[in-house]
A and B are shown apart, each in its own frame.
Chain A
């Protein structure tokens, strides 16, 4: 049995530092503060994202409010996932046994490079070389393949991968990157999409910006591919351990086409996607569509168990992907991030995401979940992934909507601690110095009182004037905010004076 990518949780190697981190599109190359700058100035982006997230947010609230047992469902979803993570090695072995028995072939991939190489080999073995000298595959929308940069890798191997999900198609045709896990083209509006289609679809002709017109153009563009391509690549929302079944939920039906028409089906799935049995879907098929698209039920739900003679693909493969998941699993304070079912509710409510958009996070996984998942998978040492946990005001809106109750704010704070430990710079920043001083002062009430005893002097010097500009790191505060004039005395001083006066009065009596 090959155990590449098997979680090491039960092994003796408990130090997560020793476990290899993931690679691919989960690394921020510049700090979040720097990258966000360029996105903040794009009013079109802000309009599009603001409008789209506000709409989807309202839809979600409505359908969630319909269920009396929503909180119980969240609790059930959270428990099911926690239980899977605690027993992941057993579930993976069980899944492999059942998937193989049903006629499928399992491949284990430690990281992005291994996964890409496995898929390439499978495509080369099963897709014919066309007149152009290249091979073609069609794709179902998949986060795992975005994460490993599969399309880009295949392109270097003379294989063209065609995205069939409408929004992924828009992103692919626009030579762009997805900025949202559910609505990858959320940063584009209808006019921009029309322009991309007219430029990149030679047969499309003149288009309007009507959604129906744009969808029809995409449909015509894709139909031929569905009918002629021999190999399809998908991700998976669920893997059912006790039957070896894989499942994909989607809205458009293009996924169903890819999963049924080609001869060969290759699925890439993260090892954390397992559920013990079909019964668990009762919970997750309620949680997922309501949290993600704000629908009671998603339009298309497809399940397949290995191969079925005379029905669907006869050559079925699964690449089980680790790519840093074992590393995240070994972190006791962060592992619940692996519970994520990729619904995207957290990014739709996030005030930071709403203003910067998804590209600022430098990862396939943007928004609050990305700010914890990317550094958990790579380690905070990887490039600038240590800056991601700070990309939050800790407002907590993400935790409230998470269908599997991932306490994102708490994990953000935990990862800030990891960053402080791992990336401790020898040259202390002004903020670090200020915090060190504050810690010393605030560790003792007398020291804080002594510091506050400077207030009358400061007040005498500055008077009643408010503070409009400060140098150094404090200038980041006064870049947009004035500061009130300092009070003449702290409350502590006022209280002590009043106490003394009251005692004096008592003595006189």
Chain B
């Protein structure tokens, strides 16, 4: 199959290795990959900021790039950007009175897939170890992106692929379906609320004791990695008068033991014990320490395309193996 790669702006400019991993996976399966040159961005940043007039030429650039060459399917390592192509581009083009662009955008969106969607629904891949040679012997937790869950309805496609990677120690993320707080310009316009959501998301990631948190959207992972890095650097969640909605509690196991994460659990809100001891601003729980999370090194985020591309011959290295982590992202 001739596959057009839609790299997405954030992967193109910030995480080229994610696009490379996507190409690697598709070529490994015997497909030809092309990169339509004029591509830039899905336009979501402008659309979600209400700037429809500014979004229109961005949508037009995408349509131009992907209609100028022949291909069988387009694939992007992002659920959010793929969702925007179908759910937003035609709507915005129509509102700008550009019916022709709306039709063209809808046609391209109909043939564009998120990576895991393409691998499972189109190519019928069910076992990453067997079909892709994926190998990643590390403890991994997984954050499903809101747009993957609720706009593309990816269900278990991403997590099933991850579970089938050889050697992986897959740990469920508590309260996984909670938003990480990114939300595009929401993270800047309502920075404090966004940071509070981020802090609670990081608390749950810490409670898993996973060395790596993965997912299918680089934007969420950039945000979460940034929060993880900040906490590890300063010992605090910052940018918000942070008090927590999520309490990571010790439910069993020994405190201070080497690996007590099996005894940690994350819950929303206070339970009755907390209710009975209201302080001036209520009771505030202890932050889980790195030691409590059973980790000697820090945590980082990485896109799942890179885990799927990792093989025994050419493995993706993690921080404890000397890999570079920058801003919480695994390089």
Contacts and interface: CB of A to CB of B under 8 A. Distances in A.
B58 interface: yes
Contacts of B229: 466, 481-482
B237 to A, nearest CB: 7
A480 B230 contact: yes
Q: What are the 3 closest A-B residue pairs judged by CB atoms, nearest first?
A: A50-B269, A480-B239, A393-B183
B239 A481 contact: yes
A441 interface: yes
25 contacts: A40-B241, A45-B282, A51-B269, A54-B268, A393-B187, A397-B179, A410-B91, A413-B50, A416-B48, A416-B49, A417-B50, A417-B95, A420-B50, A439-B54, A441-B40, A444-B40, A445-B40, A476-B187, A479-B195, A480-B191, A480-B240, A481-B198, A482-B229, A490-B13, A491-B7
A351 B175 CA distance: 11
Interface stretch (A31-39, A86-94, A217-225, A291-299): A31-39
Contact of B35 (A392, A481, A495): A495
B243 A43 contact: yes
Interface stretch (A98-106, A175-183, A430-438): A430-438
B37 A480 contact: no
Interface residues of B, number: 102
B181 interface: yes
B60 to A, nearest CB: 7
Interface of B: 7, 9, 11-17, 19-20, 35, 37-41, 43, 45-52, 54-55, 57-58, 60-61, 65, 87-88, 91, 95, 146-147, 149-151, 177-179, 181-199, 222-223, 225-227, 229-230, 233, 237-246, 267-271, 274-276, 278-279, 281-284, 324, 326-329, 331
B46 A355 contact: no
Contact of B11 (A52, A356, A491): A491
A416 B45 CA distance: 12
A48 interface: yes
B193 A352 contact: yes
Contacts of B45: 435, 438
Interface string A448-490: 1000100100000000101110000110110111111111011
Contacts of B7: 491-492
B190 to A, nearest CB: 5
Nearest to A350: B179
Interface string A230-252: 00000000000000000000000
A484 B188 contact: no
A49 interface: yes
A304 interface: no
Contacts of A435: 45-46, 49, 51, 54, 185
A191 interface: yes
A190 B275 contact: yes
A189 B279 CA distance: 13
Given A47-B275, A397-B150, A468-B230, 7 more contacts: A44-B279, A352-B193, A393-B183, A397-B179, A435-B49, A479-B195, A481-B198
Contacts of B19: 491, 495
A42 interface: yes
A452 B38 CA distance: 13
Contact of A393 (B11, B181, B222): B181
A351 B181 contact: yes
A390 B225 CA distance: 24
B48 A413 contact: yes
Interface string A406-422: 00001001011111100
Contacts of B178: 351
A387 B310 CA distance: 45
Given A355-B245, A393-B197, A50 B278 contact: no
Contacts of B188: 431, 473-474, 476-477
A331 to B, nearest CB: 13
B327 A483 contact: yes
A70 to B, nearest CB: 16
Contacts of A400: 150
Contacts of A191: 275-276, 278
B327 A494 contact: no
A477 B193 contact: no
Contacts of A491: 7, 11-12, 16, 19-20
Contacts of B47: 413
Contacts, number: 288
A55 to B, nearest CB: 8
A37 B191 contact: no
A74 to B, nearest CB: 15
B19 to A, nearest CB: 4
Interface residues of A, number: 85
B275 A50 contact: no
A420 B47 CA distance: 11
A492 to B, nearest CB: 6
Contact of B190 (A36, A442, A482, A492): A36
A487 B14 contact: yes
B12 A431 contact: no
Contacts of B17: 487
A395 interface: yes
Nearest to B186: A393
Interface in A88-140: none
Given A47-B269, A442-B43, A420 B58 contact: no
Contacts of B331: 484
Nearest to A400: B150
Contacts of B12: 448, 452, 490-492
Contact of A480 (B48, B65, B195, B274): B195
B150 A484 contact: no
A394 B241 contact: no
A59 interface: no
A156 interface: no
Contacts of A352: 190, 193, 197
A34 B275 CA distance: 28
A443 interface: yes
B327 A466 contact: yes
Given A40-B192, A40-B240, A46-B282, A477 B50 contact: no
A165 interface: no
Nearest to B175: A54
A416 B60 CA distance: 21
B278 A189 contact: yes
Q: Which of A54, A445, A467 has the most CB of B within 10 A?
A: A445
B48 A442 contact: no
A435 B60 CA distance: 17
Contacts of A36: 190, 192-193
Nearest to A452: B13
Contacts of A49: 245, 269
A480 B267 CA distance: 23
A474 B226 CA distance: 13
Contact of B243 (A46, A354, A439): A46
A416 B54 CA distance: 13
Contacts of A44: 278-279, 281-282
B20 A391 contact: no
Contacts of A51: 268-271, 275
A301 interface: no
Contacts of B227: 480-481
B230 A33 contact: no
Contacts of A40: 192-193, 196, 240-243
Given A396-B146, A482-B327, A443 B179 contact: no
Given A43-B283, A354-B245, A355-B197, A399 B239 contact: no
Nearest to A394: B183
